[in-house]
Chain A
Amino acid sequence: MTPVAVMVGANRIVPAAGIIHPLGNADLSPDDEKALRRRIVEQARQALRTEVARPTVFKPE
């Protein structure tokens, strides 16, 4: 859904893990799932301290 977020003008956009569970993945083990969630939130943290001038997608490193 990141193209929609760009189109409507959201400024800091972090791709997540999918529509039905953006911050998780039921196919992973509980530990791996939480690690996935940490990675996404950490990316959001980095996005928050990055100055942007236009809608910007912060791609996974």
Chain B
Amino acid sequence: MATETLRVVCYLNQFFGQLGGEEKAGVGPQVADGAVGAARAVQQALGDAGTVVATVICGDNYAAEQAERAVAELASLVAVARPDLVVAGPAFLAGRYGVACGALCAAVQAKLKIPVVTGMHAENPGVELYRRQVYIVQTGAEATRMLAEVKRLVALGLKLARGEAIGTPAADGYFARGVTRNVLAGASAADRAVAMLLDKLAARPFASEVPRPAFPPVPAPRLVKTLEDATIALVTDGGLVPQGNPDGIEALNATRYGAYSIGGKTGLDPAQYDNPHRGYDTTWVKQDPHRLVPVDVVRELEQSGAIGKLHETVYSTVGVATTLAHSARMGREIAEQLRAAGVDAVILTST
């Protein structure tokens, strides 16, 4: 079969490009003909399928400290070599290098429309930053198995360059890109679930079809003031809204939240509030909104001096079937507003 030999450009940092160690981390983008340093492993993995026509190299610090400029310069060097495929790294667990590999790949793919592949360890920060945009092959933490890992990068890269179908992340060894693709399963969901259960009972390996979201740990902030000096805000995902739901907060799958003044109020008048939440029976919190947002007792704590101040704005949304992405965004926005208003702590009531 006569297939055209692919032109491949490799991207390496100063170390894998054999310019030097940390003392050379400040060097700017440069290009060498053919395969240099670790790019020789790429050439070996390519065999007759392709030729490494150029190796583009940049120091880690240069790439990290002036990222936009470095990526633009590197992309120009790549363009000159007219590659059919760009292989960046692998960067293993090297953070600056991994981020640079991801950034260059994303730029080359978007601007030059050239297929790209890179590789790194799961904990390289480049993974979370770029895995949705580019194919990142999962590697070990260190370069001890360089050729074996480069072979996997090249195998996926060749598929991309040839326009062949790409397998699942597990099959082709790359980090999931958050893409949902319809496929025809060989058996019904019930059959597959029972088969999975039997595998589990027999202690055989099995893979869930539903990836569980990861919840990275959030450092717990310390209250830096005494409670007697602190301003405390009330936030809820239980759906408290003023009558008429002025912000149109959705009954489920919420994308919006509201900020409602309780300025001067010692309590919440049920006649002034409503609740669109469709994830629980709201009868009782509509009868008495304090069952959801305890303005009455927190105001008493303010008056008795047990807390410094009750923040005069309550934030509220509907937490049912809310996507993680919208939850995270709303939480971030609410936190920014609370911080700007000088709030020290939050009591978030949840249903």
User: Is A57 interfacial (CB-CB < 8 Å)?
Assistant: no
Task: Choose from A12, A22, A33, A49 the contact partner of B349 (Cβ within 8 Å).
Answer: A22
Does more than half of chain A's interface fall in helix, strand or loop, or is it mixed?
loop
Residues from chain A with Cβ under 8 Å of B298 in the complex: 41
Q: A41-B297, A53-B220 are in contact. Are A20 and B350 (CB under 8 A)?
A: no
Q: By CB atoms of chain B within 10 A, which of A19, A23, A41 has the most?
A: A23
Residues from chain A with Cβ under 8 Å of B216 in the complex: 9
User: Is B58 interfacial (CB-CB < 8 Å)?
Assistant: no
Residues from chain B with Cβ under 8 Å of A61 in the complex: none
User: Is B19 interfacial (CB-CB < 8 Å)?
Assistant: no
User: Is B200 interfacial (CB-CB < 8 Å)?
Assistant: no
Residue pair B347, A22 in contact (C-beta under 8 Å): no
Total count of chain B residues near the partner, CB < 8 A? 37
User: Cα distance A48–B230 when bound, in Å?
Assistant: 10
Residue pair A22, B350 in contact (C-beta under 8 Å): yes
Task: Choose from A11, A25, A26 the contact partner of B218 (Cβ within 8 Å).
Answer: A11
User: Cα distance A22–B341 when bound, in Å?
Assistant: 27
Residues from chain A with Cβ under 8 Å of B218 in the complex: 9, 11
Task: Choose from B217, B223, B292, B306 the contact partner of A23 (Cβ within 8 Å).
Answer: B292
Give, as a whole number of angstroms, the nearest-CB distance from B98 to chain A: 25
User: Cα distance A5–B283 when bound, in Å?
Assistant: 24
User: Cα distance A24–B268 when bound, in Å?
Assistant: 14
User: Cα distance A45–B282 when bound, in Å?
Assistant: 26
Task: Choose from B226, B288, B297 the contact partner of A38 (Cβ within 8 Å).
Answer: B297
28 CB < 8 A contacts A-B:
A1-B350, A9-B218, A11-B220, A20-B283, A20-B284, A20-B285, A21-B284, A23-B291, A23-B293, A23-B294, A23-B349, A24-B284, A24-B288, A24-B291, A26-B284, A26-B288, A34-B297, A37-B296, A38-B297, A38-B300, A41-B301, A44-B347, A45-B307, A48-B223, A48-B345, A49-B227, A51-B220, A54-B220
Contacts A9-B217, A37-B297 known; list 18 others, CB within 8 Å. Answer: A7-B215, A9-B216, A19-B351, A20-B282, A20-B283, A22-B349, A22-B350, A23-B290, A23-B291, A23-B294, A24-B290, A26-B284, A37-B296, A40-B294, A41-B347, A48-B227, A48-B230, A48-B345
Q: Which 4 A-B pairs have the closest CB atoms?
A: A24-B291, A11-B220, A21-B291, A21-B284
